[in-house]
Chain A
């Protein structure tokens, strides 16, 4: 596990690229620790973000590291509310506070076993850095609501796409594609991140066919480092896990179900 320095760092935006309905925020970070796939950072714009006078956003927001290369950290953004909108407004040369890398990431598959990456919507972000780091070729299955969002698939290589509205690829759910793959190769290992219903579909399918699955969960977070106990999901055997320190990547076997609040923005 790569660990964050005990201080927020003020980093500079190197550039912003449009990717259909999403933005890729590229941040200069030549000296930061190397994140592991699945780890995240807490982000807040330097200006017009809390501080007592503004209303929301006030707390930093969690974002998966989508990529780290060439001295830059990349984040995939979707405008779903005041915090993500403010980050989407950032331009080259502006600065943002970052705290990270935080949390536990994905564990590589045992050698010889195929990785199947399953992403939904903006939840595809941590799968990009995972694909970058995997030694062997992985199968990539991505689901999106519509065609504009499906352009996000370009973040990964050789992705098969499903869309809810049929505008691109398979007309239906990404879990339909996963069902075929799991049937073909029951020795595969599944890595998933996306909205809660998708993650629950992946969990149930993998449990039924005894395929190991690692799920990158999301939840509203105030701190990102275990301080507030706000980001919990119910776990198998009762009690709760803190997504920020026990996750965000959690072995599906630790869950009886994926909580309705524990997924990426739908």
Chain B
């Protein structure tokens, strides 16, 4: 089941979606030491920005039909805090593919976001100097201050951004595309032209919910989320993810990381079948923290289908 991706050797094709698994917090919350039995084959950090961010005011969550709308607002310690405090704690994660097998290193992928090419450049240059970081993922879902559109929503603008940062790093450069665009395959192509080594998708779909006046009554007409709008994830977006991943994989030659609503090995298999090389798991980890390892198991052995509950609870 091991797979190579942009020169990295991974124990299996399942990694986490950025911002959906805090390895440091999880290692404190659980009794098991996750550092040597990590559920994912690669670990993607949540989005890091140049300056620290507190994130959006609460409420930040809304459960939608078979999904979740979040307006977290990218809270993070800022580049310096991440490099100084978090990165040393994240280095040295390993995963075990099968019981008894040799532990395998979990490469660290750092996800960064800037609001200008200049900010992206500063982030990429700083990460380039750190050998703990195996690859970089650029989150281009940040709104352009002038147009209000996501930076990554325009193929030409995206190509220029990637072209500007490409020379600043030798590490694999992954572009996390925004799904909130007219033609995601054209954006993927723009990223490839600019020099991207891979693309990942889908990020959350822009969504909104209104305040309930009374749980059984009508909605109150005001935005519920502190950030007003948020992003939809989970099973609700799986069919959209499949269509977008298929369209992108058909258009570009670089490898594709597919994600969006994956809950099982069968769902991961669908994304691989339409051309993804790796599959990321996001919201499902909230329901089952060990989902990454379970989905990798199910993928390796489809006959086992959904994890047998007895087996999971026996762990």
Question: Interface with A: B62-70, B93-101, B170-178, B250-258, which one?
Answer: B62-70
- What separation, in Å, do the CA atoms of A234 and B54 have in the docked complex? 10
A70 at the binding interface (Cβ < 8 Å):
no
Per-residue interface assignment for chain B, residues 223 to 267, with 1 indicating a CB less than 8 Å from any chain A CB and 0 otherwise: 000000000001100100000000000000000000001010000
Per-residue interface assignment for chain A, residues 225 to 256, with 1 indicating a CB less than 8 Å from any chain B CB and 0 otherwise: 11111111110001110101100000000000
Q: Nearest Cβ in chain B — how far from A83, in angstroms?
A: 8
Q: Which residues of A contact B287 (CB under 8 A)?
A: 44, 50, 58-60
A257 at the binding interface (Cβ < 8 Å):
no
B263 touches A7 (CB 8 A): no
CB-based nearest A residue for B34: A6
In chain B, residues 5-28, which have Cβ atoms closer than 8 Å to a Cβ of chain A?
19-22, 25-26, 28
- What separation, in Å, do the CA atoms of A51 and B287 have in the docked complex? 10
B182 at the binding interface (Cβ < 8 Å):
no
CB-based nearest B residue for A55: B65
* Contacts known (A8-B288, A44-B287); A227 close to B25, Cβ less than 8 A: yes
- What separation, in Å, do the CA atoms of A261 and B26 have in the docked complex? 24
Interface residues of A, count at CB 8 A: 53
* Contacts known (A227-B20, A228-B70); A220 close to B32, Cβ less than 8 A: no
Using C-beta atoms within 8 Å of the partner chain, give the interface range for chain B: 35 or more
A41 at the binding interface (Cβ < 8 Å):
no
- What separation, in Å, do the CA atoms of A228 and B60 have in the docked complex? 10
Partner of B68, one of A46, A222, A240: A222
A230 touches B313 (CB 8 A): no
Q: Nearest Cβ in chain A — how far from B106, in angstroms?
A: 15
* Contacts known (A4-B29, A52-B263); A219 close to B315, Cβ less than 8 A: no
B30 touches A229 (CB 8 A): no
B29 touches A102 (CB 8 A): yes
CB-based nearest A residue for B29: A225
B72 at the binding interface (Cβ < 8 Å):
yes
Q: Nearest Cβ in chain B — how far from A210, in angstroms?
A: 29
B75 at the binding interface (Cβ < 8 Å):
yes
Per-residue interface assignment for chain A, residues 45 to 57, with 1 indicating a CB less than 8 Å from any chain B CB and 0 otherwise: 0100011111111
Q: Which residues of B contact A6 (CB under 8 A)?
A: 26, 30-32, 34, 37, 289-290, 315
B28 touches A245 (CB 8 A): yes
CB-based nearest A residue for B286: A223
Q: Which residues of B contact A60 (CB under 8 A)?
A: 286-287
A3 touches B58 (CB 8 A): no
CB-based nearest B residue for A219: B58
- What separation, in Å, do the CA atoms of A102 and B55 have in the docked complex? 23
B289 touches A99 (CB 8 A): yes
B25 touches A57 (CB 8 A): no
A30 at the binding interface (Cβ < 8 Å):
no
B285 touches A52 (CB 8 A): no
* Contacts known (A59-B287, A230-B60, A230-B70); A225 close to B312, Cβ less than 8 A: no
B289 touches A7 (CB 8 A): yes
Chain A facing B: main interface SS = loop
Partner of B54, one of A220, A228, A230, A239: A239
Partner of A226, one of B25, B60, B61: B25
Q: Which residues of B contact A52 (CB under 8 A)?
A: 66, 235, 238, 261, 263
- What separation, in Å, do the CA atoms of A213 and B195 have in the docked complex? 56
* Contacts known (A7-B289, A229-B75); A46 close to B309, Cβ less than 8 A: yes
A155 at the binding interface (Cβ < 8 Å):
no
Q: Which residues of A contact B315 (CB under 8 A)?
A: 5-7
A81 at the binding interface (Cβ < 8 Å):
yes
A208 at the binding interface (Cβ < 8 Å):
no
Q: Which residues of A contact B30 (CB under 8 A)?
A: 3-6, 225
A145 at the binding interface (Cβ < 8 Å):
no
Q: Which residues of A contact B61 (CB under 8 A)?
A: 220-222, 228, 230-231
* Contacts known (A8-B312, A230-B70); A80 close to B75, Cβ less than 8 A: no
- What separation, in Å, do the CA atoms of A106 and B31 have in the docked complex? 19
B215 at the binding interface (Cβ < 8 Å):
yes
CB-based nearest A residue for B75: A229
* Contacts known (A52-B66, A245-B29); A233 close to B286, Cβ less than 8 A: no
| B34, B58, B312: residue with the most chain A Cβ atoms closer than 10 Å | B58
B309 touches A10 (CB 8 A): yes
B58 touches A56 (CB 8 A): no
B220 at the binding interface (Cβ < 8 Å):
no
CB-based nearest A residue for B54: A239
- What separation, in Å, do the CA atoms of A59 and B235 have in the docked complex? 11
B68 touches A58 (CB 8 A): yes
A149 at the binding interface (Cβ < 8 Å):
no
Seed contacts A6-B289, A8-B312, A58-B287; 20 additional CB < 8 Å A-B pairs: A6-B31, A6-B37, A8-B288, A8-B290, A33-B31, A52-B66, A52-B238, A52-B261, A56-B63, A58-B68, A58-B235, A219-B58, A222-B283, A223-B289, A227-B21, A229-B22, A239-B54, A245-B29, A259-B58, A261-B58
A interface with B by C-beta (< 8 Å): 3-11, 33, 44, 46, 50-60, 80-81, 95, 97, 99, 102, 219-223, 225-234, 238-240, 242, 244-245, 259, 261-262
Could you list 6 A-B pairs, sorted by A, with CB under 8 Å? A57-B63, A59-B287, A60-B287, A228-B19, A231-B61, A232-B55
